[in-house]
Amino acid sequence: MIILQIDRVKAYYKTNAYGTQRTVKAVDNVSLEVEKDETFGIAGESSCGKSTLIKVISGTIKPPLTIIEGKVIYNFGNESIYIGKVDGQEKIEKVTWEKVSYIPQSSMSVLNPVMKVRDIFYDLLKSHQKLMEKEAFEKTMKEHLNSLGLPIGVLDSYPHQLSGGMKQRAIIALATIFKPRVILADEPTSALDVVVQRSVLQLLKEIQNENRNTLILVTHDMSILANMANRIGIMYAGKIVEVAKVEDIFENPMHPYTKFLINSIPRIGDKSDRLSIPGFPPNLADPPNGCRFHPRCPYAMDICKEKSPLLCDVTEGHKVACFLTSEESENGQQ
């Protein structure tokens, strides 16, 4: 069953400062489908639009970010949530933490420094469930923290008294207290050490095994995705360029960008030269014409400079947007 469908979403940042209009095409024509109970990874360089995509999915769309086209649909069986343009009208339905929760980037600084962790949890629970008794709250908290293996003493600490890993785990506890169907995690471990990183990822995996939720994991670290994800979408300059099962991405990457990305990962036990991707990522306020990767691509052809390739199936479940594998372009789609 498809729990989340992203249908040709275009989300741009539109600013108008001192008469200068600027449009940053952070998410441009992205379509994705996420299955129920799977771990879907989104990988890409910084400023490729992956965080913007997560913002759209989680429904936190605030100006200057605007949805130009397309929609996001959650399907929970008996209930669905729409975000985006429906019949030309903007319709952004409320996404509650009971259904979809969001672990933001740099969530280390999300906790209010002058509130005890207990009060932060109490605030959250009170706003979702009216008339929360103190005793009922204590009981829920105890059960929840125990099931995550967190010491109950966390509740009585201020955020600065907790280490980075403990803070991150407290935030995960906060995000999972309502047992949401979908968890969106945006770079959940980018500021953590390897050992702590592993314990945080282990926690996310355990929660998933227990609650049977869908996990969407955004990161630039391909090694994490190799360990965690079932399927991976590779994002480059606002577009998804390849979607496939994790094994296919690592063993048989098809898009030139994915090939570079996989080949640049250093491995312990292998000292052979690793090359970085030539050039620099484009400015999304003024992206190159045609395929956005063509200025850096060693296989660029004439057509790549004019037309933008369409993400389409190459083999079963393996989608690639590149003229090397298919002739179809986005311009022919509309």
CB of 16 or CB of 163, closer to another protein = 163
Residue 41 Cβ vs another protein, minimum distance, rounded to whole Å: 11
Residue 46 Cβ vs another protein, minimum distance, rounded to whole Å: 5
CB of 181 or CB of 292, closer to another protein = 292
Residue 105 Cβ vs another protein, minimum distance, rounded to whole Å: 13
Residue 265 Cβ vs another protein, minimum distance, rounded to whole Å: 5
Residue 221 Cβ vs another protein, minimum distance, rounded to whole Å: 7
CB of 106 or CB of 333, closer to another protein = 106
Residues that bind another protein (CB under 8 A): 45-46, 149, 163-165, 169, 193-199, 201-202, 220-224, 226-227, 246-247, 250-251, 260-262, 264-269, 271, 273-277, 280-281
Token pair for residue 247? 């094994």
Q: In 58-193, which ranges are continuous DSSP H helix?
A: 117-128, 134-148, 164-176
Q: What distance in Å separates the CA atoms of residue 228 and residue 206, rounded to the nearest whole number? A: 11
Query: Is the peptide bond preceding residue 104 cis, with omega within 30 degrees of 0?
Result: no
Token pair for residue 258? 């994915």
Residue 216 Cβ vs another protein, minimum distance, rounded to whole Å: 18
Residue 271 Cβ vs another protein, minimum distance, rounded to whole Å: 6
Residue 103 phi/psi, 5-degree rounding, is: -105, 105
CB of 68 or CB of 277, closer to another protein = 277
Assess contact for 35 and 51: CB atoms under 8 A.
Answer: no
CB of 23 or CB of 281, closer to another protein = 281
H/E run at residue 4: strand 2-17
Q: 97 exposed, middle or buried (CB, 10 Å; 0-12, 13-18, 19+)?
A: middle
Q: What distance in Å separates the CA atoms of residue 59 and residue 67, rounded to the nearest whole number? A: 11
CB of 114 or CB of 194, closer to another protein = 194
b/e string for 232-267 if b means 16 or more Cβ within 10 A? Answer: bbbbbbbbbbbbbbbebbbeebbbbbbbbbbeeeee
CB of 281 or CB of 288, closer to another protein = 281
Assess contact for 15 and 21: CB atoms under 8 A.
Answer: yes
